Amino acid sequence: MASTLFSRTFLAATHRLITPSLLPQKPLHLASFLTRRGFFSQLGSYSTAYRSARAMASAGIGARAGYSTSSSVATNEPVVSVDWLHSNLREPDLKVLDASWYMPDEQRNPIQEYQVAHIPGALFFDLDGISDRSTSLPHMLPSEEAFAAGCSALGIENKDGVVVYDAKGVFSAARVWWMFRVFGHDKVWVLDGGLPRWRASGYDVESSASGDAILKASAASEAIEKIYQGHSVSPITFQTKFQPHLVWTLDQVKNNMEDQTYQHVDARSKARFDGTAPEPRKGIRSGHIPGSKCVPYPQLFDSASQTLLPAEDLKKRFEQEEISLDKPILASCGTGVTACILAMGLHRVGKTDVPVYDGSWTEWATQPDLPMEGEDSSS
């Protein structure tokens, strides 16, 4: 079934470029699509060579000379450059994941865009598919067992390093970076600038997927579903180690609203935060959680290259909003996606333990008894 639908929707386009505006707007189920196997060089301890490469990469400069299979990348650095990935793309212990995802009002289909153009060998990581099936909230963090099953179906092992990218630059990739860290896998990085920077650097993309890849994508989605139906899945090649301090629940946020132990930072736009612009999801009022502050996630990127700002510039962004980097920080957003960009930026400045409120504003705003602030919160 998967291969049949794939043939109808994609094979006719493999020899021509299709722009996003020409792609079908109706979402297509993951079981119809898949990906190719990724490759990698295992990344270990921090090296002196990488220090200079990191500085170059953060400035948007190619740092190929500083990266090689013998130069390792630190887990306290959240991103790698496109030049580094290009140099290490075919290494056996690297998995590259296309984690593209879009807001509901964007009317874009990430699975089909992946099929048209992706980094060679990249797998497709479905943010909505690898999620908690027991809640109506969108793409909530799955259980440990479910995440392990999904990653195993994709062929990911604990020995692998993982590089995640998306088609917007850095957007949904940060969410998957956070997910792997929540489940104890620190050898994970976001591709700085994502697919746009990869293509702008002149690197090739591929527009085909093997039958094996199609089966893997289908298997990952099916494995998650089986776990939530109470069935066992095997083999499991990816072991999890849950890090509860990196994910917060509604009750934790409620308690923090009273004691203010953590500074609460919201990644949404100022207009949504203030309640002057509507939320992208119908039926959700705009506004914000009392006591929170707003740092819109685009402010963490260089406007020209769409790469993560250097650490000193990131510090200034947070300090401008009177957020102390010497005190604990909690991040939230609309549905727990762009909050992970804040966590990623704070990771670069040394705050590697920033929790994300998984349900974020969508969960908070649908609870009738919870307080809200902003112009729309009283309606």
| Over residues 328-355, mean pLDDT | 97
Q: Would residue 27 count as lying in a domain? A: no
How many Å separate Cα 100 from the centre of its chain? 8
pLDDT for 283: 81
Same domain, 129 and 95: yes
- Residue 286's φ and ψ, nearest 5 degrees, are -90, 170
Which residues form the domain of 322?
A: 242-364
Residues 6 or more apart whose Cβ sits within 8 Å of residue 99: 125, 127, 164, 165, 166, 172, 173, 175, 176
Say if residue 189 is in the same domain as residue 247.
Answer: no
Q: Which of 198, 227, 256 is the last residue of a domain?
A: 227
Domain identity same for 209 and 266 = no
Q: What is the pLDDT of residue 43?
A: 33
Residue 294, Cα to own-chain centre: how many angstroms? Answer: 20
Domain boundary among 171, 192, 227: 227
Asked whether residue 274 is domain-assigned, the answer is: yes
User: φ and ψ at 132, to 5 degrees?
Assistant: -70, 115
Range 309-315 average pLDDT: 98
Give the pLDDT band (50/70/90) at residue 247.
very high
Does 190 reside within a domain? yes
> Does 289 map to a domain?
yes
Tell me what pLDDT residue 359 has. 96
Edge-to-edge strand list for the sheet holding 123-124: 79-80, 188-191, 161-165, 94-98, 123-124
Q: How far is CA 296 from CA 30, 67, 271, 293, 374, in A?
A: 30, 32, 10, 10, 16
Own/partner contacts of 315-322, CB < 8 Å, gap of 24 or more, are 315/349, 317/345, 318/265, 318/346, 318/349, 321/265, 321/293, 321/294, 321/295, 322/293
User: Which among 196, 227, 258 is the end of a domain?
Assistant: 227
Asked if residue 19 belongs to a domain, the reply is: no
Summarised one tens digit per residue, pLDDT across range 27-70 is 333 433 333 333 333 333 223 233 333 333 333 333 333 333 33
Q: What is the pLDDT of residues 94-122, one digit of tens each?
A: 999 999 999 878 889 888 898 889 999 99
Number of domains in the chain: 2
Active-site positions?
333
Residues 150, 282, single domain; the answer is no
Question: Does 68 fall in a domain?
Answer: no
Distances (CA, A) of 27 to 23, 128, 266, 279, 283: 10, 12, 28, 20, 21
The verdict on 115 and 179 lying in the same domain is yes
Q: Could you tell me if 188 and 77 are in contact, meaning their C-beta atoms sit under 8 angstroms apart?
A: no
CA distance 186 to 347: 12
Tokens of residue 144, six digits: 């440990």
**Does residue 247 sit within a domain?**
yes
Question: Edge-to-edge strand order for the sheet containing 247-248?
Answer: 247-248, 356-357, 329-332, 263-266, 293-294
CATH number of residue 267's parent domain: 3.40.250.10
Residue 173, SS3?
Answer: helix
Looking at the structure, do residues 99 and 154 belong to the same domain, yes or no? yes
How many CA within 13 A on the CB side of residue 117?
16
What gap in Å lies between CA 96 and CA 205, rounded to an integer? 13
Same domain, 222 and 99: yes
Q: Is the pLDDT of residue 160 over 50?
A: yes
Domain check: are 267 and 196 in the same one? no
* Residue-level pLDDT at 213: 64
Same domain assignment for residues 178 and 306: no
Beta bridge partners of 95: 162
Residues 104 and 169 in one domain: yes
Task: Please give the mean pLDDT across all residues of the chain.
Answer: 82
Determine the residue type at 119: I
For residues 172 and 281, state if they share a domain: no
Confidence (pLDDT) at 377: 53
pTM above 0.85, yes or no: no
Task: Give the whole-angstrom CA distance, residue 123 versus residue 214.
Answer: 10
Output the six-digit token pair for 346.
């704070």
The candidate with the shortest Cα–Cα distance to 175, out of 352, 16, 332, is: 332
Contact between 288 and 324 under an 8 Å Cβ cutoff? The reply is: no
- What's residue 263's pLDDT? 98
Residue 237 has pLDDT above 90, yes or no: yes
Question: Do 214 and 291 fall within a single domain?
Answer: no
Q: Is residue 157 domain-resident? A: yes
Task: Give SS3 for 329.
Answer: strand
